[in-house]
Amino acid sequence: MPDRDLLLIAAYAFAGASAAGILGALVLRALRHTSLVVSLTVVAAVTVTAMLAGTLTVCKAMYLRPHDFSVVTTVVAMAAVVSLATALVLGRWVVARSRELALAARSFGDDGTFAAPGGAATAELVQLSRELAATSAKLTASREREAALEASRRELVAWMSHDLRTPLAGLRAMSEALEDGVAPDPPRYLRQIRTEVDRLDTMVGDLFDLSRIHAGTLALTPARVSAYDLVGEAIAGADPLARELGVRLVGERVDAVPVEVDGREMTRVLANLLVNAIRRTPADGTVAVAAERRADRVVLSVTDGCGGIPEDELPRVFDTGWRGSAARTPPAGAGLGLAIVRGIVDAHAGRAEVRNVRGGCRFEVVLPAAPGA
């Protein structure tokens, strides 16, 4: 066949198929909001119609005999029937799987969980099921965290109400005794009032700091400092309390490794850990402080002699309001110190950990090493 005739046949076929394709595109646009079954059927019909139009156009241009033309038309028509039937079956199958997935996804609004439907499905639907399952797991974990946080908040409110009411009642009683002139030792009453006011001021300050941490408004001023200096300042600040309670305060191993932190806030972290450790350690016990380099991290640790924390309570140690099963009354505090520790350490891109050791527990603050150190 000459090249010219071949090009002419191709042009006729393209013209006929293009006309059918344009018509099919218009139909698809008009039916774009209908069922997937309809869309697949239309696509199959457009494909077959384009082939049929191109074939018939070429047949007409070639002036085929009526018998040959009928044979070609019949073959193409049978192919069209099979294609449309296949598209219809496939479309109904895909729609059925989509409906099952939609019913499963509706459980998000009911019980908040998602269970992927069984049976075979297309790769896209399988991928969608996986994404929904992953989202369901994240939502479940988020709800559990929210429930735990809400429980700790309610617990904190209850404890704070008790801890605030006790000193306020004492202040009122002492002030009334002074006012009525029946206080046996007015100077002692005044000193006790000052002590209670300082304690209330500390509790209110802790609440304010914790609210800033939770709101993400804790302002940090990082600077390059030595872990040796941080530990030294913390030990110096806690030493009077340790002497008063008969607890030995020692530096186990303190390396002069640099860290880039807010010195004031990090000193507060160590001070909170040291005060907790000293108060929980019996007289003649030892509280050890250490600072060491581990790969690209700096670890500050405080080890006490409290006898250990129950294993089931270890995950809650840094929760707001946690005070331990045996620490329900002052001087246990309001359970804010360790929550503040975790908040400050998190703000420094570090992490706070705790684990039991022989005779007590070990709190660790893991911080990134200073760049270039």
Is residue 226 within a helix (H) or strand (E), and if so which, with residue range? strand 223-226
The confidence score (pLDDT) of residue 10 equals 65
Residue (of 279, 282, 289) closest to 333 by Cα position: 279
For residues 214 and 259, the answer to whether their CB atoms sit within 8 Å is no
3-state helix, strand, coil in the chain (%, to 5): 65, 15, 25
Q: How far apart are CA 170 and CA 173, in angstroms?
A: 5
Q: For the chain, how big is the Rg over CA atoms in Å?
A: 38
Written in H, E and C, the secondary structure of 328-373 is CCCCCCCCCHHHHHHHHHHHCCCEEEEEEECCEEEEEEEEEECCCC
The Cα 304–Cα 242 span in angstroms is 12
**Residue 330: its pLDDT value, please?**
41
pLDDT at residue 302 in the model: 93
Q: Is the sign of the CA dihedral 94, 97, 99, 104 positive or negative?
A: negative
- What pLDDT, on the 0 to 100 scale, is given for residue 16? 62
Q: How far is CA 280 from CA 252, 309, 326, 346, in A?
A: 19, 11, 10, 25
Which residues are CB-neighbours of 13 under 8 A, at least 6 positions away?
A: 54, 55, 57, 58
Query: What average pLDDT values come out for the chain (373 residues) when binned by 10 residues?
Result: 58 66 70 64 70 68 65 74 72 70 66 65 68 76 78 70 77 86 84 85 79 77 88 89 90 83 89 90 90 88 89 82 53 67 89 90 90 66
Please count the CA atoms within 13 angstroms of the CA of 147 that sit on its side-chain side.
Answer: 6
Question: How high is the pLDDT of residue 203?
Answer: 79
φ, ψ of residue 129 in degrees (nearest 5): -60, -40
